[in-house]
Structure formats: C-alpha cells, structure tokens
Structure 1
Amino acid sequence: MSDKSLPDKSPLRHLPLIAIAIIAVLGALLLRDTLSFETLRTHRETLIDYRDAHYLASVLVFMALYVLIVTFSLPGGLVATLTGGFLFGTWPGVLYNVVAATAGATLFFLAARWGLGERLAARMDESEGRIRALKDALDANQWPMLFLIRLIPAVPFFVANLLPALVGVPLRRYVISTFFGIMPGALVYTSVGAGLGAVFEAGETPDLGIIFAPQVLLPILGLCALAALPLLLKPLRRGKGL
C-alpha cells in the first residue's frame, strides 16, 4: 500500500507507529529483566552450542531478533550488540550488528515518517519565520547533523532514529548516515562482547562504560569534530563571500 493511497488524516497512517509504541511499552515492562547481561551469562553455553551446530541459522536468528529490538525500541539493544561479539567475534560480529541495527532503525524511521514525519515536514515547509528558518537550516546541514547525532554517545539511539523522520530527511541519506555513523560505537561494544568468554570465566561484569574511556572517547570526539567541520566552515565562507 503506497503512502498516497491513504488520506493525510487517515488513522491508518498512525497504525505502525501506534503498534511500535504499544510494543515498546510492553517490552519495557515485561522484557527488562529478560534481555539482559545476566540472561546472556546464563544461556551462553546453549547459544555457543547452537552457533557451532547451525552457524547460518544462528546468524539469521540473531539478526532478526536484533532488528525487532531496534524497530520496537525494546530494552536490550546493548546486550544484543555484546551478544553479536560474543557469538561471532569482533569480525564479522560488528558487520552483523551494524546491518541489523540499521535495518531496525530504518523500519522505525519509515513508520515514524509515514505516521507523522511527512505531514510535519510539509507544515514546516509551508510555515514562515523561525520555524521555516529552522527547517531550512536543517535541510542545508543534514549530512553533518545526521552523522553527529549518531556519533555522539550521549544521544539516545531512539532519539537519533526519530528526529530525522520528523524533519523530512530522505531515506537514502538516513540509511547511509546510520550505517556508517553507528560503526564506531558498534565496533567498541562488539569487541567488548568478543571478550566476554574470559569475563564469564572470571565471574565478572564487563565495563560497559568503556566508550567513555579517554582512549575510546577521544577518537569518537575527533570524528564528531570532523562531522561538525562543515557546520563551522559554512558561516566563514559566507562571511568571506566564498
């Protein structure tokens, strides 16, 4: 069913987003203790045995579950990333994690854009004054802004998935910036997951705050500065008439 087959105010447009919201709330209430690090610790041997016996099936099942977690904003996204590293190693685990996370984020983006984003973006285009100026600024700086919200660790993944849908970001641009923008953080946590075997054997808990360690955070901040560079240079170019 195409977007144009339904009136702009049709309640059916909101159904995917409503379904996501309901499942997200239920997931937060019912799965908070299920999709956890302790669950991974408890079932690690079963997971490894299944992976060894059915590698391709384990990859497909893992990625499908990861897509569901991201699409419906369920708890356990970080644990899923750790699991990807634990089961499949830093490589190709990081590839499975990034592809699945991007696919789930894209499904969420499409639902949000179909239900709310297209009309909101159209209204911003038709508006005047500060709202229109804000929309024009966002349109002129979409690439650096999209990469920034993906690279900055403090921006929640859910927020980074939702905001682009509400301001009319094109799908292709969203997918590309998501895929490459989440790679640094995914690589860090996938590598942590790849080392979970030793952590489990020692009866310890992984340091999930490692992304804020200087040796990890500083390179990510460097990427943030690189992404923000066009935002800084544009006013200077205008001032010099370039």
Structure 2
Amino acid sequence: MDFKSQNFKIYLGSAYLFIFLTGAYFLLINFEIGSLTSYDLIKENRDLILEYKENNIFIMTAIFFIIIIFLNIMMCPMFIPTVVIGFVFGKWLGTLILVFGNTIGGAILYLLAKTFFSSIIEKKFAPKISKFINFFQKNELLYFMIFRFIGGGGTPYPIQNVLPVIFNMSVKNYIIATCLGIVPATFVIASLGSGIEDIIKQNTELSFVSALLSPEIYFPIIGFAVILIIAFIFKKYFFKQ
C-alpha cells in the first residue's frame, strides 16, 4: 500500500474526521455542555471524583494520560483539559501527566501530519510563518523550545503541534523541545485547576472576587501574566525581521 498516495490521504482524513465527529456527537447527546462546566455540578461531585481517584490512582492516571494523548491527536484545545487534570490530580502530578501526555500525543500527531499531510500544511501555514523559518533552521531545538515556552506567540496549541512539518524537524528534537517548553504554562494552568479544587474544599462560593483573593488562584494568574509578558518580549525583540 502506498501510504503517501492521494487516495490514502483522503481515506485517512475521512476516517480522522469521522472519529472526531462521532466523539463530538456522543458527547453532545449525552451531556449538556453547560452542565459540564457548571460550578455546582463540580462542587457536588468533588468528593466522589477525588475519592475514586485516591482509591484507583494508577488506573485514573493511566486513563487521563491516554485521554490527553487522544485529545492531542484529535487536535483539541487543551486549556480546559489542563484545568480539569489540575483539579483532579493537583498541580504536581497533574503537570507530569499533562507534560508527558501532551508530548507523546503531539509527537504522534506530528508524525501523522509529516507523513500524510505535509504538502497541505506547508501550503496553508508556510507563508504565514516564513519570517520564523530561518530561526528554526539555525537551531530547531532551541527555537522550537522557546516557541513552546511562549505559547507559540498566540498560535493555537493544536497548530503548534504540526507547524514543525514545514521545516522538517527531527522527532527527537520535537520531543525534547515540547517536553521542556510546555512545562511552565502547563504548571500554571494546572495550578489554576488545583486552586479551584482548594476553594471548593473550603466550601467557598466561587466568584470573581473570591478567586482573585485566593492565593491558589491569583498566583497562577500572575504566573500566566509573566509568561505572556515574556512571550511579548521574545516576539518583539528576538523574533522580528
């Protein structure tokens, strides 16, 4: 079988789209999107979730690890899953699950994109990041790690995962740069989820004011602001023509 043939790419893309739409369909018919993010629902089920996690820590860790890999392959946004895992596992274990899950899932997606969709990605994105390609070609490991660290300069995370296709980055450097580069932002967002869990544990109503006054919340927000400032500095002074 010719894995790079146009017909195979069409079949693979169709299968990928079918799986994505099927998953979205079952999610929508079984859950109300509003209820999934309802604070009252989360508060009512907190003890049940955490008790099950404590009694089945290895199984839960494996399940969420696989989910993170799958979400990356499906090119899903990762902010809410990161908050959820921080809520369930805490900022330390949650960060470990997320960093390794995102790294493996991103690497699998990168390999799929590089093998089957390289021409599409180059046509779509190469003109938009042409001024950055020279940086990546000089030292792909360093600059892609910086790119990850600053959140891709505002590039959506799923798109970040496939952009290295354009400069044919080695898988080894991709894995190292991703694993190191995503740690700060991942830790900050997971800490936000952990902070929400702490507020619920204290039986405090989650409001904008209570969130800002809680160190478990405002420290991650400050950390996120610092990352944004660093991203702005890098983008303005180091990634300009």
TM-score (norm 1): 0.70
Alignment pair present for 1:62 and 2:70: no
**Residues 139, 218 of structure 1: CA spacing in aligned structure 2 closer, same or farther, 3 A cutoff?**
same
**Residues 98, 55 of structure 1: CA spacing in aligned structure 2 closer, same or farther, 3 A cutoff?**
same
Aligned 8 A contact 1:85 1:192 in 2: yes
- In 2, the alpha carbon distance for the partners of 1:26 and 1:59 equals 25
Q: Quick one: which of 126, 129, 141 aligns to 1:143?
A: 141
* Superposed CA offset, 1:96-115 (max 9, x none): 11111111111211111111
3-state SS in 2 of match to 1:99? helix
Q: How does 1:157-176 map to 2 (within 5 A)?
A: 157-176=157-176
Alignment pair present for 1:8 and 2:4: yes
- In 1, the alpha carbon distance for the partners of 2:84 and 2:179 equals 19
Consecutive unaligned residues in structure 2, runs of 5 or more? none
Alignment pair present for 1:218 and 2:218: no
3-state SS in 2 of match to 1:204? coil
One-letter code of the match for 2:145?
F
Identical aligned pairs, as a percentage?
18
- In 2, the alpha carbon distance for the partners of 1:48 and 1:17 equals 38
- In 2, the alpha carbon distance for the partners of 1:42 and 1:103 equals 33
What root-mean-square deviation, in Å, do the aligned CA atoms of Structure 1 and Structure 2 show? 3.9
Cα offset, 1:149, TM superposition: 3.0
Alignment: residue pair count: 220
**Residues 7, 101 of structure 1: CA spacing in aligned structure 2 closer, same or farther, 3 A cutoff?**
closer
Consecutive unaligned residues in structure 1, runs of 5 or more? 124-129, 236-242
**Residues 166, 185 of structure 1: CA spacing in aligned structure 2 closer, same or farther, 3 A cutoff?**
same
Aligned 8 A contact 1:117 1:168 in 2: no
- In 2, the alpha carbon distance for the partners of 1:155 and 1:42 equals 36
- In 1, the alpha carbon distance for the partners of 2:177 and 2:74 equals 20
Q: How does 1:1-242 map to 2 (within 5 A)?
A: 6=2, 8-25=4-21, 27=23, 31=27, 33=33, 36-38=36-38, 40-41=42-43, 43-74=45-76, 77-117=78-118, 137=134, 138-153=136-151, 154-200=154-200, 201-204=203-206, 213=221, 215-219=223-227, 221-222=229-230
Q: Which of the two has greater helix per residue?
A: 2
